[in-house]
Chain A
Amino acid sequence: MIEGEPEKVNGFGRSNSTGLMPPPSVIWALAIAFVTLIVYLSRGFVLLLFLSATIAYLLNPIVKVAEAAMIKRRVAVSVIYLGIGVAFLVTSYFVFPRLRAEVNTLSGNLPFFGQRFDEAVDVLQNEIVERYPAADGLFTTRELRYEKLNDFIEQQVADLPLLLGHLASIVLAGVLIPFFSFFFLRDSRKIVKFVLDRLPANHIETTVAVWCEIDRTVGRYLRGLAIEGIVVGVSAALGLTILGVNYPLLLGLVTGFANIVPYLGPIIGGATAVLVALIQFKSLTVIAQVVILYLSLKLLDLVAIQPLAVGKGNDLHPVLLIASIIVGEHALGIIGMIIAVPTITILQKIASLLLERRRYSSRMLHSRPKSDVQLQTYVC
């Protein structure tokens, strides 16, 4: 494999780019600003691509196993999608009728929701006042509460056309996301190779390093999040079934999905379950049981599920994490909150690797970095 013996040759001249070109940092800053602007302007489409890429990320480890067994990538991806399709049909057959029944019951009960909620709150207030008479002054009057509730319901009804508009987008996304993710998954190697082939050689190692770090961190985070969502959702559905709360499947689904949103998600999931339990049982004891169930789930999530599923995927500082979620919510709503963490993780990884390279280059100008290994004065 090695041809030729050492000989003297000339070459490897580094081209000196002097001229009117601005410094690379300015070009980079302008490029980043331009890309950010484009992403913001076409955020709807970018979001669609992001969600498709997320699904592709989640399925990529399975494809890699197939690739390691020398199976064609497109065959592996097709088989996986076929498997998902079959699983979806089986789930539809067994779970969807029950879920649909729950949705139908819920929609049938919705017109009476305000009244039932009001009654439940009344019963609960009386129960609390009976037990703790001092708490009597803490509650608002029934009229005021009724007025607030009516306002809330009216607002929701007014937003209904908007919601239906969103529903069309959701259905479209439901079709487009699997479609895009299929091609992302099938052609991801080609896409990466296409990008690498067009990059100058001196940026290859840093690019590969950045890509690998993103792949590892974000991939682990997203896969962990999916596993976490499924485990928490299923556990919540089981727990609510045991407690006898209505709509356990629907609530489990909501809890699982809500769990994707950091910090706020578990509260949303828990609050929804408490609301349903409140209307159904009108009892402080069951509400306490539901709260304990959700607290236990959170504890289980923190102690067992997160360390196992997410691992070290996300090592962001909590302040940066919360700040990113707030910014994400302002930019893209709930979806923004979900994608905030992976986005900020990607940016953090890119910045740290580029800074490392910059530090390395500046250090190299002055001295060659020394190895931290203590060498002996002999070898034998």
Chain B
Amino acid sequence: MKVHSMAKWHWLEHVRDREQLLRLKVLANVPLFAGLSRRQLGKLLVKFFEKEYPSGETIFREGEPGKALFIVLTGRVSICRSLKKEEELLATLTAGGYFGELALIDDQPRFASVRALEPSVLLILYKSDFDDLIEGHRTLAIRVMGNLLKTLAAYVRRAQTQANGRNSMSPGRTSAPDQRTVTSEDVPRD
């Protein structure tokens, strides 16, 4: 029995892709893909491209067309937004962090700029590849879209809260929050 299990272990060791397993682990911890089975994550994983970014390299800039979702595999990236002449740091993401998810929904320009703070490896999922995948996998589509909607709902609530805060300070203003000010990157990911 023991010999059999040892043989099995060795066999798996030679066949299993350890790098791919590490990527799968990272992907499994991404909130956007929460609830997906290992098999679904595997199907999703093969759609990703991988790229290394040297420290200081800009991944994309605010206003550029967005066509892909990015996931930090290793390293650290910063997300900033132009504010008049300065730039506001919105967040710093490490392994498992994701950004650019709104590109999976529409082709609007990027809300913020992203830069690698240290040598980083990112996984890139192109929108049409994602569309192709969800077209043939209903459960996967429902789960990911559900997670995406939860994220969007969080953006809206946050924007609403911020707008309410502003309204309470200036009683004359009653308009609804401007949804364009909601960034794809400022969602709380706890």
Give the interface of A toward B (CB within 8 A): 1-4, 6-12, 14, 64, 67-73, 75, 192-193, 196-197, 201-202, 204-206, 208-209, 211-213, 216, 357, 360-361, 364, 368-369, 371, 373, 375-379
Contact = CB atoms under 8 A, between A and B. Distances in A.
Given A204-B124, A379-B160, A73 B17 contact: yes
A1 B63 contact: no
Contact of B92 (A3, A202, A357, A361): A3
B21 to A, nearest CB: 6
Residues of B in contact with A, size category = 35 or more
B49 A68 contact: no
Interface stretch (B2-10, B53-61, B141-149, B165-173): B53-61
Interface of B: 14-17, 20-21, 24, 39, 42-43, 45-46, 49-53, 57-61, 63-68, 72, 76, 78, 80, 82-83, 86-97, 106, 108-109, 113, 115, 124, 126, 128-129, 132, 156, 160, 175-177, 179, 188-189
Nearest to B16: A70
Contact of A12 (B14, B53, B67, B80): B80
28 contacts: A1-B94, A2-B189, A3-B92, A3-B94, A6-B89, A7-B89, A9-B88, A10-B86, A12-B58, A67-B17, A67-B42, A67-B45, A68-B39, A70-B17, A70-B21, A71-B17, A72-B17, A201-B60, A202-B58, A205-B67, A205-B68, A209-B68, A211-B49, A216-B129, A364-B109, A369-B109, A377-B175, A378-B176
Nearest to A208: B126
Contact of B42 (A68, A357, A369): A68
A72 B19 CA distance: 9
A378 B164 CA distance: 12
Contact of B108 (A193, A357, A369): A369
Contact of A70 (B42, B95, B109, B176): B42
A378 B177 CA distance: 8
A6 B90 contact: yes
Contacts of A4: 89, 91-92
B40 to A, nearest CB: 9
A4 B89 CA distance: 9
Chain B contact residues: over half helix, strand or loop, or mixed?
Answer: mixed
Contacts of A205: 60, 64-68, 124, 126
B130 to A, nearest CB: 10
Contact of B51 (A73, A193, A364): A193
B107 to A, nearest CB: 8
B129 to A, nearest CB: 5
B87 A197 contact: no
Q: Lowest 6 CB-CB distances: which A-B pairs, in order? A: A68-B42, A1-B97, A3-B92, A72-B17, A212-B126, A196-B51
A197 B116 CA distance: 14
A373 B88 CA distance: 28
A1 B73 CA distance: 12
Given A1-B97, A197-B52, 6 more contacts: A12-B115, A67-B46, A68-B46, A196-B51, A204-B59, A209-B128
A196 B50 contact: yes
Nearest to B17: A72
